Amino acid sequence: MNQPQIQEDEQKHVDAFNARIAAGKTIEPKDWMPEKYRKQLLRMMSQHAHSEVVGMLPEGNWLTRAPSLMRKAVLLAKVQDEAGHGLYIYSGAETLGTDRAEMIDQLLSGKAKYASIFNYPTLNWADMGAVGWLVDGAAIVNQTALAKCSYGPYARAMIRICKEENFHSKQGYQIMAHMMSGTKEQQEMAQDAINRFWWPVLMMFGPSDADSPNSDDLMKWKVKLYSNDDLRQRFIDRTVPQAEAIGIKIPDDKLKWNPTTRHYEFGEINFDELKSVITGNGPCNKLRMKQRNDAHKNGAWVREAAIAYAEKRAKE
Ligand code: 3HC
């Protein structure tokens, strides 16, 4: 094929791809897609899958210390759900041509990113409430938008994940509500957890729009339907009334309802802290990477057994 013919064919693919996006149709694994679209999605989906998996660590820390059998059973179910979320998203990401083992290697070697929030410590039981309510609450806001994104396998994975995240967020809120109706010490513990988690949770939505290098492409391709700042605002607007309902104070002196915009105004986010955590200098980055690497090594026999069993079944 000569060069002009190749260019013409390429342009036809680009036009068809753009037309599907403009019509709100999904892009499926076997559809033609620009290389940059594939790379951006792979980056985002693999980071997302890693976040689900690393996100099990701060809560796993409290499984053996839950205050009752009921709380333990609920937390255990939640942590197991997160493993499942990782699996769905890794499977979705594999449709873009990279093997799960390779993505996991990138996580374990420190090359890949995962959500900044999981580099903060969970110091006591109230933190299980704060993480469930706020972290999973923020994840729902982000992920209900992703459930309508342009890449079919990612959007479909989000539908079930969002249902489960809803349960996660409610169990966290219920822990907080319970503590806020308890003793003065329990109320102080709950408030202290929110004081520590509030700002890092706002950072989960990423840098402000002006400093978000990937947003232009992702919004153009309808992978992101809303910007980082829009989703952050949406999260604040829905969370502040929930806090008020149980007597929790949001640790932001500038927080104020604006009746004209019908949004809450809020104080300045310390994005230098986000940068520092993303680049490996958060309070628990080193611990999380060690825990994840140890878990991977300790699980080697399970992977080997599963492969041996699959081979045996294939021969039968
Ligand atoms: N933590 C870690 N890295 C972050 C981050 C955060 N909170 N926010 C931004 N970053 C990184 C980006 O990945 C990007 O780095 P890269 O170019 O090297 O990959 C850089 O900072 C610049 O940010 P951008 O705004 O340009 O990046 P994006 O446009 O990709 O937006 C995002 C960032 C909003 C996190 C987006 O990628 C996204 O929506 N991802 C999918 C959802 C996701 O990953 N959620 C993680 C939490 S899941 C979870 O919490 C589990 C649940 O069980 C609770």
pLDDT, tens only, 38-82 = 999 999 999 999 999 999 999 999 999 999 999 999 999 999 999
Give the pLDDT score at 3.
77
Q: In a 3-state reduction of DSSP, which class is residue 27?
A: strand
Give the pLDDT score at 1.
63
Decide: 215 in ligand 1 pocket, CB within 6 A: yes
Q: Write the CA distances from 291 to 95, 104, 269, 271, integer angstroms.
A: 28, 14, 29, 27
Q: In a 3-state reduction of DSSP, which class is residue 131?
A: helix
Give the pLDDT score at 73.
97
Decide: 232 in ligand 1 pocket, CB within 6 A: no
Rounded Cα distance, 49 and 94, in Å: 11
Q: Count H helices and E strands in the chain, helices first.
A: 14, 2
Q: Write the CA distances from 20 to 16, 24, 307, integer angstroms.
A: 6, 6, 39
Decide: 92 and 154 in contact? Cβ < 8 Å: yes
Whole-angstrom Cα Rg for the chain = 21
Percent of the residues in the chain that have a pLDDT greater than 70, as a whole number = 100
H or E segment and range at residue 257: strand 256-258
Give the pLDDT score at 205.
98
Decide: 142 in ligand 1 pocket, CB within 6 A: yes
Decide: 59 in ligand 1 pocket, CB within 6 A: no
Decide: 236 and 266 in contact? Cβ < 8 Å: yes
| Ligand 1 geometric centre to CA of 279 (Å) | 13
Angle (CA) 288-49-158 rounded to 5° is 140
Give the pLDDT score at 134.
98
Give the pLDDT score at 242.
98
CA 34 to chain centre: 25
Decide: 169 in ligand 1 pocket, CB within 6 A: no
Q: What is the pLDDT of residues 71-122, one digit of tens each?
A: 999 999 999 999 999 999 999 999 999 999 999 999 999 999 999 999 999 9
At 136, list the tokens.
């999973």
Of all protein residues, the one whose alpha carbon is nearest to atom 12 of ligand 1 is: 206
Rounded Cα distance, 30 and 316, in Å: 32
Q: Write the CA distances from 83 to 54, 57, 87, 151, 161, integer angstroms.
A: 9, 11, 6, 22, 11
Q: Which of 36, 40, 48, 80 to mutate to test the pocket of ligand 1 (most atoms within 8 A of CB)?
A: 48
Domains of the chain, CATH where assigned: 26-315 (1.20.1260.10)
Query: What is the residue type of 251?
Result: P
| Ligand 1 geometric centre to CA of 50 (Å) | 11
Decide: 292 and 53 in contact? Cβ < 8 Å: yes
At 306, list the tokens.
């599963």
| Ligand 1 geometric centre to CA of 204 (Å) | 7
Look at residues 192, 222, 204 and name the one whose alpha carbon lies nearest to residue 271. 204
Give the pLDDT score at 8.
84
Atom of ligand 1 nearest to the CA of 207: 25
| Ligand 1 geometric centre to CA of 205 (Å) | 7
Low-confidence ranges of the chain (pLDDT < 70): 1
Mean residue pLDDT across the chain = 96
Rounded Cα distance, 231 and 211, in Å: 15
Q: What is the pTM of this model?
A: 0.95
